[in-house]
Structure 1
Amino acid sequence: MRMLTYISVLFLAVLTVGCGGVSLPKEDIFSCEGFEIYPDSIVRGNRIYRAVSPREISNAWTLPDSTTVAPEFISTLPMADALFAKAVISPSFLTPEEIWLSLGFLRPEESMQALRSLAWLPENDNEDFPYSTLSPYWAAAAWEVYCATGSRTWLREAYDALTRMLSRQWKLNRSALSEFYCGIPRGVTEQSTFYPASMDEMSRFQTFSASVNIMRAYSLRIASRMAGELKLYAEREWEMEADKLAGAVNDCLWLPDLQRYGQYLYGDYYPIVSSVTDNEANLLAALTGTATPEMSAAMVGELPLIASGVPSVYPYVVNQTPLRPVVQALYGLSAAKVRNPRAFIHSMASVWNLSLDANYPSLWPSLVMKGLFGIETTPSGLEFRPMVPEVFGGEKQLRGLRYRDAVLDISLNGTGDRIASFMVDSVSTDSHSLPAGMKGHHKVVITLSGNDLNAKPLRIFEPVTVPPTPEVKWPTANDMKIVGHDRLLHYDIYLDGVMTQSISTDNYHVRPGECGVVTVVPTLERGSSGYATPPHVCLPDDEVISIHASSITPRRPPLHFIKDPATATNYIELAARHNTRITCYVNVAVEGDYFITVGYSNGSERCGIRTLGVNGVDVATLLFPPRRLNDWVHVYPSTTSVIHLNEGVNKLWLTYVGGTILFNKLTLLKRS
């Protein structure tokens, strides 16, 4: 590889001299097997992309002379300048994540309109399953637009839309006893890359994803900030809810040994943490303040990287998948926040390489403005916390940067992260900020002290996939057999969510005193864990309570769905026209928390939703998604909730919210 690098450099130097250009420096900024980064060039094998000017990259992109670039970025690295120009003039359908990264500042009016359109889209019949209604970046993007514009009209509109989204999503909480919210992250388009094949649609939906809950907590925090700006009493309430959820994420999903968050809590009854790393979730935790500064610094330094960038998850769930561009930018912004120059350069290289082939209008501009220049928008103005690695030495300029009623020319000199001098229109100031009320044209000159940014070398991981989920059979109620046992693996046995033993054999016996819910997790000796088997309930029949449809009256056999009367008598139709609320009673010997699941069928195209009430109080919402069109016979489990029951007789009911389902049975399991 090193010999190939030397040959590539020599070839490129000869080529550029022959074309009348300037030869490349001998040292690259970054190199890996797929590409090499130089100050004015990117090399992929024998193909060279050179920044001929800030308006042209050979073999990749040319900007017509008539096109105006605003703002402009000018630095000692020609490729950085050209890629910035390529980004800011790129057309884009503005997404909330792009708006949050940089377009809310660069294109505030367009961003406002895009967010407004998303907020008032018609609701889907199945919006509740398998996705939640709240776009994870919407609140952050809306706040960014408010800070960039100062529009009180937009602030009131955004607050109303956000509170409506948050309130509607509340019902996706599995129960009143859980702080977490379930749902599949919006960024997961190929579910096979994020979930094991052993998980069905319901199992995937019922995971407590780190990404979903980190951004839910941040959205609550944004609602608090908006309420504070509007002088509303709800400010403190939103903040308390955000703190509660962020605390639960840190308590249950942080893995101290790995110095990062696990992917999600998963599995019915007693969820366990997936040790697979969702890199986007970890970076969001650092950027939104869910992680403490110490946790963030450790996480960014230890995040599993591959040579060409940051994988979405590590280890891979399936074979290697393409890098997600937004994750590369989040890595760079997190690196700037925790002052890790090596991580920032790794992010920069990946973003540059990806930006050659496609238009990403928010990525490199976000790393320039929020990373190198350290610009943070607030309701009261702009604050600056620059971080410049040595490779970006020399003067860097942002020219023609529009901010509300002002146009700014900002110069950043030197390296490091300590500001030695901050001058506005030739006047020195100690505030390192600009007020929101500035008008007209202003010049800002920032000089850094050149202090050393200490950072440990990054660890580059080899691409690997998780160990396969074992197939497990139970010949008897208490005896487990692992089919296709792998001698290279250990198998961790979890009982009621707690690892009790690690075995290397192909069988396991659950002693009577250990009865509960059993799952098995495959683990390699070097510590890479796979996904757990579906939970197996290993309990005596008298400890599982079932209430069948045939025992509930009044009832209406659904003969228009199931023609066979003998079969139809095992179901009760719950619909908008009748049985909008059914009630049953359950007698338990011991007061405590119980898992509750409803067996149902749904052959429609719409997700069924019912609130669950216990002893006079609505405590949870159960979802009954469609499984197979026109199939009203096969019974599937609803979402699982946790409820509290008193000793003796308890009254339970299901109340109609939406969708038609056939009720088959209700199952209760005592929580240990």
Structure 2
Amino acid sequence: MKLSCIASILLTVSALLLSCDRDRMSNDVISQNDIFTVTGDSVVEGPWSAIAISPTCIKSSYSPPDSSDNLGVVKFRLAINGHDNEMAPCYYHYATTGSDTTAVTVGVPDTVPATSQLKAPMVKDHDWVVRVDMRPVVQSLDKKGYYVTATGDTVYADEFKGVWIAGNVSPLSWDFFTLSHKEQLRLHPTATAGIYEIKLHMQPSSTPVTYNHVWKVDRPDPDYAVINTGVTMVDALYNMSIYDIERKRHGNGHNGYLEKVPYGANPSYSIILSLAYLDPEGSMRTLRAMVGDDGSLSHLQGPDDLYPIVANDLSWAVSAWEIYAVTGSKKWLRYAYGVIRKTVDQDYDMNCDMQSGLVHGGLRQGSNQSQSYPAWMEPKDVYETQSLTVNLLYERAFEILSDMGDELNDENSYGEKALTLKENINETLWNERHGYYSQYLYMSAYPVQSPGIDNLGQSLSVLWNVADDDRAVNLVKKTPIANYGVPIVSPRYDNGEAVNLSQTVSPVVQAFWNLAAAKTGNQHMLRRGLGALYRAAALFGANRVAWDAYSGKALDSTDGDLGAAAANAAMVYRVYAGMTFLPGGIEFNPTIPSFMKGIKHIYGFKYRNATLDITISGTGNDIDNISIDNQVGHDNFFSGQLSGHHTIHIKMRNSTPVAQEVTLGDQNFTLPATPVVKWLKDSTRILNYNSNLDYRMVVNGQLLYTVNDSMTLRHTTAGTRFTVSAIAGVGRYALSYLSKPYMKVSSSLQLPLGANAVTPMGAKTHSSARLTVTVPVGGDYLIDLRYANGNAATAGSCPVYMLYANTHAQGALVMPPRGNGEWMNKGWSNMITAELLKGDNHIELKRLDSNGSTALVYFVRIIKK
């Protein structure tokens, strides 16, 4: 697939914001940078320190100030029917904290307060009344029967449910996905017609992040392997993690692993990292609970990650294979093979893009995000994306199905599909100029690469051999990281509201990144990654779910996070011992950094019917020799057929790693703000125009002419997609996410699906529809649906139809819910490209999903591309 020219110039960053760092660390420390140092028994960061007193005790003095107190202004917006639709994303209402009453008019933004106000201390624990003049809405509903919001939403009088408030200070939040369910944040009409009001008790520090100053257990858990690496900090943090894993294992009636973990992790990733070999039975129970009654993955998700809008379930396949490789259980293999095969067979053809060969669908969004999307994106826009991680999961699932088929003597063609998808990933998502993958393609019909970098996907591409040797080495070297670790998403993207993933380090993502660094031999990157994990757990006195990439502060006070515990444990087994589990046994490829000079022991590791005592001496990543039960050989493989007690001795060559570069991105390494554009029929205006940035019009995916804060649109063909990019840098490019697009259509076909103006499309009623389309010239056409869906956003509420043209599948059309009970709220489905012949064409829509939800379809729109 040939991408538009914008893909070739994405994200070259000024040398002032990035620097290439070579290994200047002392060989005697685990990690060090300009902010903190991690040694074998301590962490020192400014005035704070953590000391590993013993393998069972860590003491910490860490207590940074709570930054939530430094909010001198409440920033808020209103939400009609609970949607983020009052004003454009760059506009807000403001109130000085401590105010008794604030009066605003709906849709009229306030002036940004002075910097001195924004940085003033927050007034804590006070009552605040917000009074809103809703008369523009009420009068429009009374006179016209509808109200059009500043974002283009049409709210009809019969479907008006009220107005909610969202903001930056507790009890407010920016979680618009669940806002309409929070009655305590809903405004109520007063005795004065058109005036609504709410009284809130503001609690900016109601739940400040706290830290533990002592972590201690009586002894290492005897039910798990005991380690002695000669590095007290490593041993103590391993014991902390084992303790947390054991608590989670019994935390909820033996179902402790079933929880979803914020920031992109879930039990599948924890199983891949550690749990498959530390607790295979518990891991099996967790995975079984994620399977539906029909024998495929259930896709049971929340309102902010609706299937197939969110399509990252196939992490299940990778964790299922890991369990089989650990246990060798043919019973589990047959079960997992059936689940994965049925899921992939149902989902791949439905979500595959016919042009790129990649799979549609994004990662989780909303309050527990794992991907960054521009604020203008609706669920159908997220579905249109073609994500690196989602496609890697499908590619790996195909490989696993091929390997499972070999194990079960069931010949299949999934290996060929894996190779094809691997080629498509490398062709469309790799950025040759910058040496890493883009996080996703977006803007269907004319797709371009996102300026963002998905660092979970980056690491998985290395571990699963999608990135070849040279690409893998360059990827690890050139991807920008922060001093406190690799953010979930790079570069920094100031969205101003929701959880900022580009400023968040997840220990799960960091762990996979460390494994990728070890695999590519970049020990400088590995030591930085180890330092990020160890520094956080030691200073916090606990395994925490995430921390800020630029301040290092924890983002949550909950101790014993399963993902963080699995991540820390994986460093022992996956990195230092270098274990790779295969159906026939364990392969050992240790990576021993220079700080770990002594003899390393793992005692009592339980594997199938064997118990292993493992000793590793020396450093580096080259094995000198290996012996099993004192029989010296050159094979680094332990057979899964062996039982009983065995000793394994691995001697490393003490090789000195070549100094390798690491790319550092500081806090100023930030993408320009996404342009907020007001599109008119023949002109445009950039609402958040910044004179320090350049702006370019992107027409049908091509980065073309320069634009100012307002301008007239140039002449177009029958159907043209406009969007705007902001560009920072002189002579170099740092591109923003693209603005919300505008489809200017001079001519199109709008064809109803039946005799009536609207056709209910459900699983049982009108599960298919046929029509004939006559076009004057053959070629590619853009097709979408005008629809309404007032179902609540639950599992099965997003109808999916495959569109066929002249019996050939062209792509799936999704119609996600647009508001609970809002059946007059019309929108567009995703847009696909279909090849039509000159003259008559037979179009057919066939329902793909088996759920019972219904959407109202007004017409099919067909535009010449």
Range of TM-score over shorter length:
0.7 to 0.9
Return the match for 1:286 from 444, 462, 475: 462
Amino acid across the alignment from 1:233: E
**Distance (Å, rounded) in 2 between the aligned partners of 1:628 and 1:586:** 32
TM-aligned CA deviation for residue 575 of structure 1: 3.4
Q: CA RMSD in A?
A: 2.6
Q: CA deviation at 1:276?
A: 1.2
SS in 2 for 1:335: helix
Question: Which moved further from structure 2: 170-179 or 353-362?
Answer: 170-179
Q: Pairwise mapping of residues 30-429 of structure 1 onto structure 2 (< 5 A)?
A: 30-32=31-33, 35-58=36-59, 59-65=213-219, 67-68=221-222, 70-90=224-244, 91-92=247-248, 93-94=256-257, 95-120=267-292, 124=300, 129=307, 131-132=309-310, 135-170=313-348, 172-173=350-351, 175-186=353-364, 189-191=367-369, 194-234=372-412, 237-318=413-494, 321-356=503-538, 357-358=542-543, 359=560, 360-429=564-633
For residues 398-423 of structure 1, give each alpha carbon's deviation from its aligned partner in whole angstroms, at most 9, with x where no partner exists. Answer: 11111111111111111112111211
Count of aligned positions: 625
Partner residue in 1 for 2:773: 586
| Paired position in structure 1 for 2:800 | 609
* Paired residue type of 2:665: F
The answer to whether the Cα contact below 8 Å between 2:54 and 2:236 also exists between their aligned partners in 1 is yes
Q: Does 1:466 align with 2:641?
A: no
CA shift for structure 1 position 71:
0.8
Aligned CA distance change for structure 1 residues 117 and 473 (closer, same or farther; 3 Å): closer
In structure 1, give the amino acid aligned to 2:863.
L
Partner of 1:597, secondary structure, is strand
- Measure how far apart 1:32 and its partner are: 4.6
AA at the equivalent of 1:303: T
Aligned amino acid, residue 101 of structure 1: L
1:242/1:655 CA distance change after superposition, 3 Å: same
1:557-589: per-residue Cα shift (whole Å, max 9, x none)? xxxxxxxxxxxxx32223355434332211112
Question: Do residues 633 (structure 1) and 824 (structure 2) align?
Answer: yes
| Residue 451 (1) aligns with residue 627 (2) | no
Q: CA deviation digits over 1:309-328, x for unaligned, max 9?
A: 01111122336543111011
Report the AA paired with residue 281 of structure 2.
E
CA contact (8 A) 1:49 1:60 kept: no
Mean CA deviation greater in 78-87 or 464-473: 464-473
Amino acid at match of 1:203: D
Distance 2:712 2:435 in 1: 32
Counterpart of 1:4? none
Task: Report the alpha carbon displacement of residue 535 of structure 1 after superposing the two structures with TM.
Answer: 2.5
Name the residue aligned to 1:561: none
CA distance, structure 1, for counterparts of residue 28 and residue 617 of structure 2: 22
- % identical aligned pairs: 27
2:655 counterpart SS class: coil
CA deviations over 1:180-202 (Å, ceiling 9, x no partner)? 22222148754496111122222
Asked whether the 8 Å contact 2:290–2:298 carries over to 1, the reply is: no
- Equivalent residues of 2:798, 2:853 under 8 A apart: yes
Question: Structure 1 residues 28 and 371 mapped into 2: Cα distance closer, same or farther (>3 Å)?
Answer: closer
2 CA distance for matches of 1:639 and 1:389?
49
Aligned to 1:644: 835
In structure 2, distance between residues paired with 1:122 and 1:129:
10
Distance 1:484 1:48 in 2: 43
Residue range with higher mean Cα deviation, 112-121 or 93-102: 112-121
Q: 1:149 to 1:188 in 2, by over 3 A?
A: farther
Letter in 1 for 2:746: P
- Which region of structure 1 is more displaced relative to structure 2, 177-186 or 242-251? 177-186
| Aligned mate of 2:699, from 495, 504, 510 | 495
Q: d(CA) in 2 for partners of 1:43 and 1:651? A: 70
Query: Which one has a larger percent helix, Structure 1 or Structure 2?
Result: 1
Does the CA contact (< 8 Å) of 1:182 and 1:206 recur in 2? Answer: yes
Question: Mean Cα displacement is larger for which, 356-365 or 28-37?
Answer: 28-37
| 1:511–1:387 Cα change, 3 Å | same
Which segments of 5 or more consecutive residues in structure 1 lack a partner in the other structure? Answer: 1-24, 556-569
Please state how far the C-alpha of 1:612 moved relative to its aligned partner: 2.2
Query: Match of 2:473, SS?
Result: helix
- CA deviation vs aligned residue, 1:423-455 (integer Å, no higher than 9, x gap): 112221011111111111111111111122113
Kept in 2: contact 1:188–1:194 (CA 8 A): no
| Residue identity matched to 2:480 | P
Determine the C-alpha separation between the residues in 2 that align with 1:643 and 1:461. 42
- Amino acid in structure 2 at the alignment position of 1:531: Y
| 1:670 equivalent in alignment to 2:859 | no
Q: Is the 8 A contact 2:762 2:854 kept in 1?
A: yes
1:514 deviates by 11
Counterpart residue type for residue 842 of structure 2? K
Give per-residue Cα distances to partners, 1:198-249, cap 9 Å, x unaligned: 2222212321111111111111111111111111111xx1111111112111
Q: What letter matches 1:470 in structure 2?
A: P
Q: Secondary structure of the residue that 1:459 maps to in structure 2?
A: strand
CA separation of 1:323 and 1:78: change in aligned 2, threshold 3 A: same
Q: Quote the offset at 1:507 in angstroms.
A: 3.8
**Distance change >3 Å, CA 188–CA 483, structure 1 → 2:** closer
Asked whether the equivalents of residues 254 and 262 of structure 1 are also in contact (C-alpha less than 8 Å), the reply is yes
Residues 220 and 226 in structure 2, CA contact (< 8 A), matched pair in contact too: no
Residue pairs, 1:538-577, within 5 angstroms: 538-541=744-747, 544-547=748-751, 549=752, 553-555=754-756, 570-576=757-763
Shift of 1:134: 5.3
| 1:292–1:200 distance in 2 versus 1, CA, 3 Å | same
User: SS state of the match for residue 170, structure 1?
Assistant: helix
Distance 2:856 2:522 in 1: 56
Residue type at the aligned position of 1:659 = S
Q: Which one is further off, 204-213 or 496-505? A: 496-505
Deviation of residue 167 (structure 1)? 2.1
Structure 1's 487 and 506: CA in aligned 2 closer, same or farther, altered over 3 A? farther
Secondary structure at the aligned position of 2:590 is classed as coil
Tell me the secondary structure at the aligned position of residue 68 of structure 1: coil
User: Does 2:639 align with 1:435?
Assistant: yes
Q: Are 2:27 and 2:595, in contact at CA under 8 Å, matched by a contact in 1?
A: no
Q: Deviations over 1:149-170 (max 9, x none)?
A: 1111111011001112212322
| Aligned-partner residue type, residue 339 of structure 2 | A
TM-score by length of 2: 0.68
Distance 1:27 1:225, change over 3 A: closer
TM-score w.r.t. length of structure 1: 0.87
Question: CA separation of 1:622/1:385 partners in 2, compared to 1, >3 Å: closer, same or farther?
Answer: same
Q: Quick one: distance in 1 between partners of 2:773 and 2:53?
A: 77
1:572 and 1:240 mapped to 2: Cα distance?
Answer: 40
Q: Alignment partner of 1:391: what SS?
A: coil
3-state SS in 2 of match to 1:84: helix
Q: Distance in 1 between matches of 2:703 and 2:372?
A: 23
Segment of structure 1 superposing worse, 482-491 or 88-97: 482-491
Q: Which has the higher contact order (CA 8 A, sep 6+)?
A: 2
User: Are residues 1:536 and 2:690 paired?
Assistant: no
Counterpart Cα distance in 1 of 2:311 and 2:447? 24
Contact 1:287 1:337 in 2 (8 A): yes
Q: Distance in 2 between matches of 1:381 and 1:174?
A: 35
Of 454-463 and 126-135, more deviation after overlay is shown by 126-135
